[in-house]
Amino acid sequence: MTSIPPKSNQKSSTFPGRIPSRSGELPVSVSNLHSLKELDLSANFFCLLPFEMEFSLEKLYLSFNKFLGEFPWSTGNFSSLKLLDLRSCGFWGKVPHSIGNFTRLQFLYLGFNNFSGDLLGSIGNLRSLEAIYMSKCNFSGQITSSLRNLTELVVLDMAQNSYGGTIELDVLLTS
């Protein structure tokens, strides 16, 4: 089973404790780190992302925070993103079709949020995807043949959503 890839062993800074924040907002100064490739802010108490993410991140870990509202899909440059981890963040709303533009994405973790609508129709262009975890998200719609385009896909976790229709085995088994 494919799991979250290990965090890189590249040179990094370690901050003991939590990033200081008076209001649960992520400090705007984080957006000044233009050469940053991996950002792990998991398991904190952030509730707002107040900045535009204009760096060339390859891995963004935001899981287990207390964000309020929708993920700001349109506020940043996600073209370099290979891993997006939004598990259990409190996000809601629709995942826009523009997620299909994140063509380098390999690992997508959306589980345990309150997203809505249909995600499967939007991800057919993500041919590098190896794993999609989207359990308990309130997604709905029909299983689509766009899954056939995901030739690198090893894990598809759609548990406890409201998808319907018929799953044609050739859609999932044909590469």
- Mean pLDDT per 10-residue segment, the chain (175 residues): 58 47 61 80 77 74 87 74 94 86 93 89 88 94 81 92 76 59
Which of 82, 35, 92, 76 is CA-nearest to residue 60? 82
Determine the pLDDT at residue 61: 92
Per DSSP, the three-state class of 157 is strand
What share of residues in the chain are helix, strand, coil (percent, to 5)?
15, 20, 65
Residue showing tokens 């309150």? 114
Number of H helices and E strands in the chain, helices first, is 1, 10
Determine the pLDDT at residue 15: 45
Determine the pLDDT at residue 25: 63
Q: Which fold has domain 28-173?
A: 3.80.10
Determine the pLDDT at residue 20: 52
Determine the pLDDT at residue 32: 72
Q: What is the pTM for the complete model shown? A: 0.80
Burial of 24 (0-12, 13-18, 19+ CB in 10 A): middle
Residue showing tokens 């998808």? 163
| CA gap 111, 43 in Å, rounded | 15
Element (H, E) at 116: strand 114-116
Each domain of the chain, given as residue ranges in start order, spans: 28-173
How distant, in Å, are the alpha carbons of 21, 25, 49, 52, 80 from that of 28?
Answer: 10, 8, 8, 9, 21
Under 8 Å CB-to-CB from 116, ≥6 apart: which residues? 92, 93, 94, 138, 139, 140
